[in-house]
Amino acid sequence: MVTIREEKLVDFAAREAVLDEAYGAVRFEKASERLREGRVPAAGLSLVAVDRGQLVGTVQLWQVTAGPGRPALLLGPLAVHPKHRNRGIGSALMRRAIARAHLAGHNAILLVGDAAYYSRFGFSAATTGALWMPGPCQRDRLLALELRPEALAGARGMIGATGRLAPKPDLNLLIAANGGTQRANARKLVRHAA
Ligand SMILES: CC(C)(COP(=O)(O)OP(=O)(O)OC[C@H]1O[C@@H](n2cnc3c(N)ncnc32)[C@H](O)[C@@H]1OP(=O)(O)O)[C@@H](O)C(=O)NCCC(=O)NCCS
């Protein structure tokens, strides 16, 4: 049975593996990534799908502004492991993410993706004609869903990142950890040689 739940710290590697499988390295070049890099996702809006202990799907939402002074969310990436597609997992992730965003009081969700897929959840390009991504993006792939009536009425301008900045790793801790690894490797070599 597939369970949808909030992502935990331990899910990081499995989530990245699903994203690598779905999108490859090109995902880091997308305009959406400019709105995600160095930020943490919106609270409670990193979800994973788990099937018999295995992470098989992921979706995350990020805080942005849809033009000046208009808070919204950016959805993505959404991905389901190729072996688990067409089982309704992508839809379950989308529906849960939308419901949670609504419940948390967010106004609207933006994303860059195929209208042929996302229209079933209510997304369209009807309100995004005067919005711009911070990088190349096909206009008909910039989609939105209003969670409150008229939330994006008259929205215009650049979409900007507003999410909380991700904490920077502590340099001293990194050096200590690296030193620890080197000492552990040296101990292994000595044991092997003895
Ligand atoms: C898009 C994705 C998340 C869907 O996950 P999923 O768990 O297979 O989705 P669901 O089972 O809920 O829905 C499957 C349906 O979506 C359709 N679908 C999947 N990708 C689609 C797309 N890019 N455009 C139109 N329809 C699409 C399937 O044909 C299927 O249609 P059906 O219900 O008529 O049979 C998954 O295919 C994926 O991770 N793809 C890689 C990333 C990608 O290509 N994204 C494209 C959207 S930007």
Residue pLDDT, tens place only, 107-162:
999 999 999 999 999 999 999 999 999 999 999 999 999 999 999 999 999 999 99
Q: Which atom of ligand 1 is nearest to the CA of 79?
A: 39
| pLDDT category of residue 45 using cuts at 50, 70 and 90 | very high
Q: Going by C-beta distance under 8 Å and a sequence separation of 6 or more, which residues neighbour residue 31?
A: 112, 133, 134, 135, 136, 137
Say what the pLDDT of residue 182 is.
Answer: 62
Q: Which atom of ligand 1 is nearest to the CA of 89?
A: 7
* Residue 41 scores a pLDDT above 50: yes
Specify the residue with its C-alpha closest to ligand 1, atom 22.
117
Pairing of strands 108-112, 71-80: parallel
Q: Domain locations in the chain? A: 2-166
Rounded CA gap, 7 and 118, in Å? 22
pLDDT, one tens digit per residue, over 59-109 is 999 999 999 999 999 999 999 999 999 999 999 999 999 999 999 999 999
Average pLDDT rounded to a whole number, residues 2-12:
97
Specify the residue with its C-alpha closest to ligand 1, atom 32.
86
Q: Which atom of ligand 1 is nearest to the CA of 18?
A: 39
CATH 3.40.640.10 holds for 2-166: no
